[in-house]
Amino acid sequence: MKNNKGRAISPGYAAVYLILILWSLTTIFPLAWSVMNSFKDKKMIYSNSFALPLGEAFSLENYRNIFAGYDILRAYRNSFIISGSVAAAVILLSGMAAYILCRYRFRGWTLLNLLLYAGMMFPIYSTIIPVMRMQAKWGIVNSPSVGANLLSVILPQIAGNMSFAIIVLIGQIRALPVELEEAAYMEGCNMFQTYFRVVFPLCKPSMVTVGIFSFLWSYNDLFTQMFFLRTRENWAITILLNNIASKEGVNYGALFSSVTLIVIPVLVVYLFLNKYIIEGMTVGAVKG
Amino acid sequence: MKKRMTVILAAVMAAALAAPAFAEGVTINVTTTYAGEDSNAQIFKDSVAAWEEESGNKVEDSSATSDESFKSRIITDFEAGSEPDVLFFFNGVDSNQFVEQGKVVSIDEIREEYPDYASNMKDELLGASPVDGVNYSVPVNGYWEGMFVNKEVLEAAGVEVPGNETTWDEFLEICGKIKDAGYTPIAASLQEIPHYWFEYAIYNFQSPETHNTMPESVDDEYGQAWVDGLNDIKALYEAGYFPENTLTATDAETFQLFTSDKAAFLIDGSWKIGGITEAVDDIENFTVTHVPGKGDRKTTDEIGGLSMGYYITRKAWDDEDKRDAAVSFVSYMTSDEVVSGFAGVSATALKEGASPDVSEFNSLQNDALTYTASFTGISPAVQDNLSAAAREPIFADMASIVNGDVDAADAVAAVLEANAE
Amino acid sequence: MGAQIYKNKKLIWVFLLPAFLFMVIYLYYPFIQNILNSFMHIKYMGTAGGEWNTPWYKNYLALMSDPKMKIALKNTVITIIATIVGQVGIALVLALLVSNIKKGSGFFRTVFFFPIVVSATALGLLFNLVFLYDKGMINQFLQFVGYLNRESNQLIDWKSKHAMFTMLTPVIWQYVGFYFVILLTGLASIPADLYEAATIDGASRWQCVRYISIPLLRNSIGTCVILAVTGALKVFDLPWTMFVNGMSNTWLTGTYMYSKVYSDVDYASAIAVVIVIIGVILSAAVNRIFRQNVDYQA
């Protein structure tokens, strides 16, 4: 098979690449535009946001502002503690629930499924106030301990990502051949062993996907952070940068440097975890 | 900046001599809106550090940029019992909830024990609560709303900058000439921020004495003023004096028309001076003047006031350890010296008046000082009396009002009905 | 599917409980409060409900005759269709294409993810500039190619003339990458030997896609459609940044709810309840459609 593809790129392939390249141009552009503008003085952004930051237009002022007055490393650390914990907890708990909801039928199954869809729809604005009252009662809001404050963000975020994760994983587990689980059962595995030894490893790409998105949404969830992370030593990166960029609605320079600083770690995490998805891919990809 | 630091240092030393030394430090929780790129955030930080140094106490600062979610957080905090010890917050309807529940301490009560508390301020300007007319907060610096002018556009159109005597009719004439010259007379996004135009348009049918009175109904004198004012905005819209896309443009977009010499006038708050300074190359090209008036309102009658102040919460007051510290903190932050540092070109409630450091003022700031010096009357913004829900029929629907889909009288009636709830 | 091994259900709660406990405490319990709020009169966000509305279903009554809600529902239906066709459709095509190439697939996987990580505020700013009235990217381009008259500075007000298109393009575009990643993950779990066997039998590449990839992606596509429907019902950030206050009649259920969150808490709560009810019904329907003949065909 490889032989007859050895020729120059066929028209079909050319068309495929053309489409992919066109789409990637649209996706690269906004990020490149944001990064580009982060190196420009705000006045330059007004006059022409599409010009390259070269020569006189180049400015590190936006970054200097951010690094001068703020402990950005501490904020990154807080962010990674929060979002890492959220992603890990979501992967662990949603996978187990998805497995049961997918493979078992029991009383209340329909209800749980409906609740699952509902859980994805609740706007954060309608749940935040009761959550805040509850957590204030437990003493983890406005606490002198940084750990407690971070926890007050982690817990609601775990819940907030759960429905989405379970729904994605149900779709994944449903596509797995049930024969593998039956074989495991024949060999005497109980429910726990079947899940952790057979199902979980097979779902690894989906687990990673779910983890990436939970991480991403937790990381970007400014609203919850604003309610629970109040003092500087508690700030996560998104709220810190929002604080810098928000006050002056006209200061796009601060905004774009903030966007850049927020995006970079997420892309690093994505690139790092992406290889687990690709691992599955390369096995499954159609070979040329 | 140097000068500002000396002011603060002087304040520190003055206060250090006056205040008793605390044997042991106390930590108080303070929440303010001096955060983000608020031009006063840095002064606040420096002042806090200076107070900490002087008093030996510590401040746990949970300040945040003020927006709607910040306000909800504060209200929820009060309800859940996790409020700060000292709060710098709005003194209008936004404070009603915790005032009604008695969660902040009135100035009179504080004065029973600390007679000198806020004694450097004019009591009538402190900003009494809409709930009971009692003073709870001590203000720092106020705001005013004025008309910023792009002089280059006016020059190109061959018209003069409107002055203290310019009337509304003359203003319309000026706008016409600017439009004929190919420029946009007024930079405003009626879709997003019609607030300033609303305030002045209805002010034009009232006076500083009557402006801040809520109409009882759409038919009474005040209600009629509101309807007439809205119809004036509609007339401006129909004359084409707003940007062509004022119903779809964002405020940032129309602001850019103003700063890039395409539009002539911009009504905005005193806080916008920083934004204009940041956005333009030649600040000399900009100035600020009065919004031309008609009827009982003189052109030099302004909108302005002191809308925020420092509260001491009941929680801190009842805590023997924190009471002294909280009072000392607020006294320090509202001392003549510190307030002058914050004030810039804005008004204060100080008996002695503020003495801002003018040596580093740019031309627009100097113009602003001249401008504030010529006020003949001042009234707070009447829209601050409206609940958030009541604002909607006018502020979220201005587009429908000016394009004729909604009658101005119906919109005012809807506002008054929602506000009555 | 009724395999023997799934008859013993004694311990399933051990797996279900942790996940649902989180959701009960942090989602269902607060949302019950929200339902109660929708029947009450609440002054500010953050305060507890005072007294009950009279009649208690007043907000729902008002919703039924609220012209803005009607606009929001109509626009949301358009958005749902557009997101299913646009987002999931484009994502599916892209995922299939990327899985069929060798060189550069890692590159595309990475860059297609970009739009999801950039904040809605920044994207809103960008698209405001793209569709800007005067000197916007598109208007400049149209003047350049001569579609609009450059001398008289003829312009198109995109946010007024083609408002829905202008709003939906960025919304759809932003989340294609999200569905792309999910579908790609689904493709990754299709066993390679299926393709190998098919190619040995002489199947063309297109036949492999048509008869192996797409049928086996059914579950992932179903998941994506559910996420797209619920996403369309609650999306608000990017539309709000570009179309403040539902300008040019562009209300969506999400933006309409958001516009009331701080100003009219109980009314917003009622809108939230409506959104959740519609979302649950549609999700259940989608799930039923995609679950038919689910049997694994390998």
Work out the percent of chain B whose per-residue pLDDT is above 90.
54
**C39 belongs to a structural domain:** no
Query: Is the domain defined by A64-284 classed in CATH 3.40.50.2300?
Result: no
- Cα separation, C24 vs C30, in Å, equals 8
- Domain residue extents for chain A: 64-284
Lowest mean pLDDT among B365-374, C58-67, C129-138: C129-138
- Domain range for residue C270? 55-291
Rounded mean pLDDT, C97-125: 84
**pLDDT the model gives residue A246:** 61
Nearest alpha-carbon partner for A174 in A108, A99, A279: A99
Do A125 and C1 lie within an 8 Å CB cutoff?
A: no
Instruction: Count the residues in chain A.
Output: 288
Query: Which one has a higher pLDDT value, B113 or A242?
Result: B113
Which residues 313-332 in chain B show a CB within 8 A of chain A? Answer: none
Substitution target from A48, A140, A142 for chain B, most B beta carbons within 10 A: A142
Asked whether residue B168 carries a pLDDT value surpassing 50, the answer given is yes
Average pLDDT, chain B: 88
Q: State the total domains in chain C.
A: 1
- Residue C296's pLDDT band (boundaries 50, 70, 90)? very low
**Minimum distance, in Å, between the CA of residue A105 and any CA atom of chain C:** 8
* B396 in reach of chain C (CB within 8 A): yes
CATH number of the domain that C183 lies in?
1.10.3720.10
Residue ranges and CATH numbers for the domains of chain B are 2-142+306-354 (3.40.190.10), 143-304+370-420 (3.40.190.10)
Lowest mean pLDDT among A6-10, A41-45, B208-212, B363-367: A6-10
Which residues 210-249 in chain C show a CB within 8 A of chain B? Answer: 244-248
Q: Name chain A contacts of C234, Cβ cutoff 8 Å.
A: 121, 123
Residues 6+ apart with CB under 8 A from C82: C168, C172, C232
* A175 in reach of chain B (CB within 8 A): no
pLDDT tens-digit profile of A81-111? 999 999 999 999 999 999 999 988 888 999 9
Do B79 and C248 lie within an 8 Å CB cutoff?
A: no
**pLDDT the model gives residue B21:** 45
Q: B117-122: long-range contacts at Cβ-Cβ below 8 A with a sequence spacing of 24 or more?
A: B117/B327, B117/B330, B117/B331, B118/B330, B118/B331, B118/B334, B120/B334, B120/B335, B120/B336, B120/B350, B120/B351, B120/B352, B121/B334, B121/B349, B121/B350, B121/B351, B122/B349, B122/B350, B122/B351
**C41 belongs to a structural domain:** no
Q: Name chain A contacts of C233, Cβ cutoff 8 Å.
A: 121
Q: What is the DSSP letter of B216?
A: S
* A203 in reach of chain B (CB within 8 A): no
Angle between helices A146-174 and A72-103 (to 10 degrees): 40
Which residues 64-83 in chain A show a CB within 8 A of chain C? Answer: none
- Cα separation, C102 vs C90, in Å, equals 20
Which residues 59-78 in chain B show a CB within 8 A of chain C? Answer: 68-69, 71-76
ipTM associated with this complex: 0.84
- Cα separation, B189 vs B198, in Å, equals 12
Element housing B302 (H / E): strand B301-305
Residue of C nearest to B76 (CA): C46
- Residue C69's pLDDT band (boundaries 50, 70, 90)? very high
Distances A117 to A122, A206, C218 between C-alpha atoms, Å: 9, 19, 19
pLDDT tens-digit profile of A103-129? 888 889 999 999 999 998 888 888 888
pLDDT tens-digit profile of B60-98? 998 887 777 788 889 888 988 889 999 999 998 889 889
Asked whether residue B14 carries a pLDDT value surpassing 60, the answer given is no
Q: Name chain A contacts of B64, Cβ cutoff 8 Å.
A: 226, 230, 243
Do A96 and C30 lie within an 8 Å CB cutoff?
A: no
Substitution target from C96, C117, C172, C187 for chain A, most A beta carbons within 10 A: C117
pLDDT tens-digit profile of C40-56? 888 777 777 678 888 88
* A273 in reach of chain C (CB within 8 A): no
**pLDDT the model gives residue B392:** 84
Nearest alpha-carbon partner for B341 in B95, B31, B51: B51
**C247 belongs to a structural domain:** yes
- Cα separation, B216 vs C193, in Å, equals 79
Asked whether residue B417 carries a pLDDT value surpassing 50, the answer given is yes
**pLDDT the model gives residue A253:** 77
**pLDDT the model gives residue C292:** 58
pLDDT tens-digit profile of C211-262? 888 888 888 899 899 999 999 998 888 898 888 888 888 999 999 998 888 8
Radius of gyration of chain A (CA): 23
- Cα separation, A116 vs A93, in Å, equals 14
**C285 belongs to a structural domain:** yes
Low-confidence ranges of chain A (pLDDT < 70): 1-9, 43, 46-49, 245-251, 277-288
Q: Which of A96, A170, A280 sits opposite C188 (nearest CB)?
A: A280
Lowest mean pLDDT among A191-195, B11-15, B38-42, B234-238: B11-15
* B275 in reach of chain A (CB within 8 A): yes
Beta-carbon count within 10 A of A179 CB: 11
Q: Which of A46, A136, A244 sits opposite B36 (nearest CB)?
A: A244
Work out the percent of chain A whose per-residue pLDDT is above 70.
89
- What is residue C295's three-state secondary structure? coil
Substitution target from A43, A225, A242, A250 for chain B, most B beta carbons within 10 A: A250
- Cα separation, A36 vs A52, in Å, equals 7
**pLDDT the model gives residue B38:** 64
Give start and end residues of each alpha helix (H) in B158-248.
Answer: 168-180, 195-203, 221-238
Residue of C nearest to B396 (CA): C245
**pLDDT the model gives residue C154:** 82
Do C46 and B73 lie within an 8 Å CB cutoff?
A: yes
